Amino acid sequence: MTSTIIWTIAILAGLGLLLSLVLFFIAKKFKVEEDPRIDEVEAVMPGANCGGCGFAGCRAFADAAVKAPNLDNNYCPVGGNEVMKKVAAILGYEIKEKAPMVAVVRCNGTCENRPKTNIYGGSSSCKVKASLYAGDTACPYGCLGCGDCVNACQFGALSLDETTGLPVVDETKCTACGACVKACPKSIIELRNKGPRGMRVYVSCVNKDKGVVARKACSAACIGCGKCAKVCASEAITVENNVAYIDFTKCRLCKKCVAECPTGAIHDVNFPVLKPKAAPVEEKKEENNG
């Protein structure tokens, strides 16, 4: 009886020892040589695996960054300049600093501004809704409000505002990974320059219909009148297909266009309240939440 137990233990221990030796030698023989810098780079990455850089995850990015001759095409939008400086230090490269970006929802079609013309009863997905028809308002370009962008955001930076029906970006959480931009079937969300102290000016509308039609569908639509382009001193505004667009690389944040816009389609956010004169504009901004 005792001998059986002893034998069993001895055989199993012997077997374990033997196999571990085999594994040890195999592991030595077939070891995959990997650049140790990949691990180092991965360690400084944010580790969100969001895919905002264009690679499958942080390790894939690290691998690509190590193999690339420079860092021009590899940039982690989530970590931003801080992380990229660390990466550059590990790899001995130089980086071009990029201005921080933020996702901007370019639709002003709140329930108040843009009345519903029909009731959507189908699957609650913007993609499905966009494949079926133009949407439950008269504006075929605007936000569909099913929250595909909210579901796509891994950082919890987006939420649907129940009173307006539009998604709201939390600037402190947004990392500009661009997942929401890809998720939006109407291409409403754009990555824009965050601006000094978060100050920025943008056209919150993508409606390409003629002014009359756009205005009828939504009281805060861009009607493509071109007043903003005329008043702009830095030639940042172009009007194409009945809709204005502000080039954020040229915009000097003078806010002349904001005062000029007849429908309030141009939004300015995070500007400090200076004069009482500017107060009505500021109020509007808060309503629409940039």
Partner 1 sequence: MARTTFSLGGVHPNDAKYAKDHAIEVLPLPQTVYISVAQHLGAPAVPCVAVGDTVKAGQVIAEPAGFISAFVHSSVSGTVKSIGPRKDLAGNNVTHIEIAVEGDDWVDGVDLSDTLITEIPADRAAVLDKIKACGVVGLGGATFPTHVKLNPAPGSKAECLILNAAECEPYLTCDYRIMIERTDEIVVGAAIMQMVLGGCKTVFGVEENKPEAIKALKESVARLGYKDMSVLPLKKKYPQGGEKQLIDAVMKRQVKSGGLPISVGAVVQNVATSLAVYEAVQKNKPLVTNTMTVTGDCVPDEAMHNYMFRIGMPLSYIAEQAGGVPQDAAKIISGGPMMGKAVANFDACTVKGSSSILYLSESATKRHPEGACIRCGKCAEACPMGLEPFLLNRLYKAGDVPALEQNAAQDCIECGCCLYTCPANIPLLDNIRLAKGQVMGAIKARAAAAKAAAEAASSEKK
Q: Which residues bind partner 1 (CB under 8 A)?
A: 117-118, 121-123, 125, 127-128, 131-136, 138, 140, 209
User: At its nearest, how many Å lie between partner 1 and the CB of residue 173?
Assistant: 24
**Choice between 242 and 288, CB closer to partner 1:** 242
User: At its nearest, how many Å lie between partner 1 and the CB of residue 127?
Assistant: 6
User: At its nearest, how many Å lie between partner 1 and the CB of residue 204?
Assistant: 21
Please give the Cα distance from 112 to 122 (Å, whole number): 23
* Residue 194 near residue 171, CB atoms below 8 Å: yes
**Choice between 70 and 131, CB closer to partner 1:** 131
User: At its nearest, how many Å lie between partner 1 and the CB of residue 285?
Assistant: 30
Q: Which two tokens stand for residue 7?
A: 């034998």
User: At its nearest, how many Å lie between partner 1 and the CB of residue 103?
Assistant: 21
**Choice between 79 and 142, CB closer to partner 1:** 142
**Choice between 93 and 120, CB closer to partner 1:** 120
User: At its nearest, how many Å lie between partner 1 and the CB of residue 134?
Assistant: 3
* Residue 157 near residue 174, CB atoms below 8 Å: yes
* Residue 137 near residue 117, CB atoms below 8 Å: yes
Which of 252, 257, 271 lies closest to 199, judged by CA? 271
Three-state SS annotation for 252-264:
CCCCHHHHHCCCC
**Choice between 116 and 252, CB closer to partner 1:** 116
Match 């590990």 to its residue by tokens.
90
Max Cα distance, the chain (Å): 101
* Residue 168 near residue 91, CB atoms below 8 Å: no
Q: Which two tokens stand for residue 211?
A: 């002014």
**Choice between 100 and 185, CB closer to partner 1:** 185
**Choice between 47 and 122, CB closer to partner 1:** 122
User: At its nearest, how many Å lie between partner 1 and the CB of residue 177?
Assistant: 17
Task: Tell me phi and psi for residue 231, to 5 degrees.
Answer: -80, -15
Q: Which two tokens stand for residue 87?
A: 């990466």
CB atoms closer than 10 angstroms to residue 113? 23
User: At its nearest, how many Å lie between partner 1 and the CB of residue 137?
Assistant: 9
Sign of the torsion formed by the C-alpha atoms of 178, 183, 185 and 189: negative
Q: Is 51 helix (H, G, I), strand (E, B) or coil?
A: coil
Element containing residue 159 per DSSP (H, E): strand 158-160
**Choice between 33 and 240, CB closer to partner 1:** 240
Match 């980086």 to its residue by tokens.
95
